[in-house]
Amino acid sequence: MRYLDAHCHLDFNPNVELEIKEALDQGIMGGILGGTSIKDWPTHQQFCQKHEGFQWTLGVHPVYLTDQGISDSFENLAWSMIKSDFPPIGIGELGLDRKFRPRASDEIQIQAFRRQLAFARDCNLPVVLHLVAHHGLALEILKKDGLPQAKGMIHAFASAPELAEQYLRLGLKLSFGGVATWANAIKVKKSIEICPLKDLLVETDSPDQAPEGIDQAHGLKMLIYIASKIAEIKKMQTQDILEQSTENLRGLFKI
């Protein structure tokens, strides 16, 4: 069995062919690209068409939002992509972010989040959530508005087990990345401990969120290292964590 990366942004890397080759040598056969802004959708679609094993999701990332909010034509453009010959497998990234240089106000972020959530329910595709430092509000919106039946995942989950439990109760899967390797990431480690295997995913978020001690763009191949740290916490074999995560991804996104 070959492994999939639950979340990455390979299109940023000028040496992406090398990155993919190095990953393949380690048994990583592909991954899911996070959506950033509407203008990037065709690029991500073409990238995945060209690279076997990669799939894309369509969304407007909260950090890429401006104060103009999402374009009026979001839904029309998204439907045309869904009906195209290489459709997205999910909706995202969508969510809230108060930490990583957000350009849009909280109000605009909330509008964009709810609008994309509504769209995900309409087309019933799983969501890829980006939620940083806004958890109370995010949970309130998710509970009030509702998830699509297809549910979804929270990428780069890096919060406390009390929050993990609430998201798990909504039927979301939790994806853990580079932060899981940090010695001082106690809360994240506790969240990994309590996350049932059927709801656990592993991601690199490459080139972002490098594991501890890795200071350059870390690459898809680091999926193995991140999984090894999760395996230590779960007292399991790295390979079993990677197989489980890949199986969970295939189930969630029907790939």
Residue 152 binds to Zn ion (criterion: CB under 5 A): no
Select from 30-38, 112-120, 138-146, 169-177 the region that touches Zn ion (CB under 5 A). 30-38
- Shortest Å, Cβ 154 to Zn ion: 11
Kindly state the smallest distance separating residue 155's Cβ from Zn ion, in Å: 6
Query: Which residue from 30, 31, 34, 219 is in contact with Zn ion, where contact means CB under 5 A?
Result: 34
Pick the closer one to Zn ion by CB: 34 or 95: 34
Report if residue 92 touches Zn ion, rule: CB under 5 A: no
Q: What is the 3-state secondary structure (H, E, C) of the chain?
A: CCEEEEEECHHHCCCHHHHHHHHHHCCEEEEEECCCCHHHHHHHHHHHHHCCCEEEEECCCHHHCCCCCCCCCHHHHHHHHHCCCCCCCEEEEEEEECCCCCCCCHHHHHHHHHHHHHHHHHHCCCEEEEEECCHHHHHHHHHHHCCCCCCEEECCCCCCHHHHHHHHHCCEEEEECHHHHCCCCHHHHHHHHHCCHHHEEECCCCCCCCCCCCCCCCCHHHHHHHHHHHHHHHCCCHHHHHHHHHHHHHHHHCC
If binding is defined by CB under 5 A, does position 62 make contact with Zn ion? no
Total residues interacting with Zn ion, rule: CB under 5 A: 1
Task: Point out which span in 33-41, 74-82, 160-168, 221-229 binds Zn ion (CB under 5 A).
Answer: 33-41
Residues in contact with Zn ion by the rule CB under 5 A: 34
